[in-house]
Amino acid sequence: MKSFCIAAAILLAGAPCLWSQDHAGAQQLLDASHNPGDLFQIAAQPFDLEIDFTIERPGQNPDANPAPVPGHLSIKWQSKDHWWSSVSTGGFEQTTIRNGEMESTLRNFPATPGIVQQLFRLLRFNGYVMKYSAGRQRDRTDGGVAETCIDAQPDNTQHVQFKANERELCYDATSHELLTANWETEGDGRYREQFSSYQSFGPVRYPGKFIFTKHGDEVISATVTSLANASFDASLLVPPEHAVTRRKCPDIKPPIAVKRIDPVLPRGPGGDVRASLTVLADGSVSDVNILSASSVAMAQAAREAFRQYKFQPAMCGAEPVVSDSEIEVSVRRN
C-alpha cells in the first residue's frame, strides 16, 4: 500500500509538467500550422484568385429547402494593403478596393449580406485570420486520415466585425494543414468549416475547396477555379464613383459601445437580431441595416434600439475614424 501511494504521488506531481509540455506542443502546432489566410498575408508576388461558390439563399424559410444561389468572387492581389475584389451573387454586387490604409466599397445593397461576410471569413479573406491560445490536444483518425485536434480560444481583440467562440481545430497530422474548425454558440447551434484539396502557391498552401455547414446543413460551398501569378494593374486602386471609403490603419482600435438600449417587444417571442451599422467619428450611429431577424416586429425593435446607441468611435492613433461593424443583440418580450 505504501509503494502504491508513493507511485500515485509521483504521478500526480508529474501531471502538471506533462500537461504543460502538451500545452506547449499544441500552441506550437497552432502557431506553425498552415492557415488558409496566410495566402493574403505573405504571398510573395501579385496574383489573381477566382472562386465559384453557392450559398443558401438569405432570408428563406429553412424548411422550404430552396435551391442554392451561385456566385463568383474575383480577387486581384498586390499586397495585403493593395488589392481589388469583386463579388456577385443573387443580384448582389460589390467591389472593394484597398489602397494603403484606405478601403473603398461600392455595392448595390445598403449593406453586405451576412452570408457574403461569412464567405469571406471562410476563405480567410480581408483580414479574417485569427490568433488562438491552445487548450487540450487530441489525436484521432477521421476517414483514414490521422488528425491532431486542439481546443483553441480565439483572440477576439483583433476584430471589429465579429466575435469568435472557442473552436476545435483539426489539422492533418502529417502536413499540418487545417482540415476542420468546429464550434457551437448558445441557442444558435453547431457550425463547421471544412478545408480540402490544398495546392502549393509560392511559399504558402491554399485550399481548393471550402465548405461551411450549420446544424449539419451545407450553407456555403466554394471552389477555387484559378489561382495564378499575374501582373497588377495599378488603375484598379482608383475608387469608383460613389464608393464609400473608410480609413483602416494597422493598429485601429474598434468602437466600444458606451450607451446601449435593450430592444423589447410588446408581444410575441423574442430572439436574436444581427445588424450592420456605421459608427461615425463622433460616436453616433447611422446606416442601420438588419441582416437577420425572425420577424418584422423584432427587426424594427432592434433598429430603433441601435439608432440610440452611443459609441466611443474607432481610433487610428489619436484620430477618431468612421467604421462599419456588425452587432448582435437579443430582443426580449416586455
280-303 residue pLDDT tens: 999 999 888 888 777 888 888 888
Residue 234: in which H helix or E strand, if any?
A: none
pLDDT reading at 260 higher than 80: yes
Buried b (16+ CB within 10 A) or exposed e, 185-200: eeeeeebbbbbeebee
pLDDT score at 67: 80
The total of other beta-carbon atoms located within 10 Å of residue 85's CB is: 20
Lowest mean pLDDT among 1-5, 69-73, 179-183, 224-228: 1-5
149-161 residue pLDDT tens: 999 888 755 444 4
pLDDT score at 297: 83
Lowest mean pLDDT among 119-128, 154-163, 251-260, 295-304: 154-163
Domain spanning 36-237 has what CATH number?
2.50.20
Lowest mean pLDDT among 187-191, 207-211, 234-238, 312-316: 187-191
pLDDT score at 180: 95
pLDDT score at 156: 58
Amino acid at 71: G
CA-based torsion, 268, 272, 273, 277: positive or negative: positive
pLDDT reading at 15 higher than 50: no
- Please give the model's pTM, rounded to 2 decimal places: 0.80
pLDDT score at 272: 79
| Tally of helices (H runs) and strands (E runs) in the chain | 4, 23
Q: Which residues, listed in sequence order, are joined to residue 181 by a DSSP beta bridge?
A: 169, 193
pLDDT reading at 129 higher than 70: no
Q: How far apart are CA 14 and CA 8, in angstroms?
A: 10
pLDDT reading at 261 higher than 90: no
Buried b (16+ CB within 10 A) or exposed e, 40-64: beebeebbbbebebbbbeeeeeeee
**In CATH, what class is 249-333?**
alpha beta
Enumerate the domain spans of the chain.
Answer: 36-237, 249-333
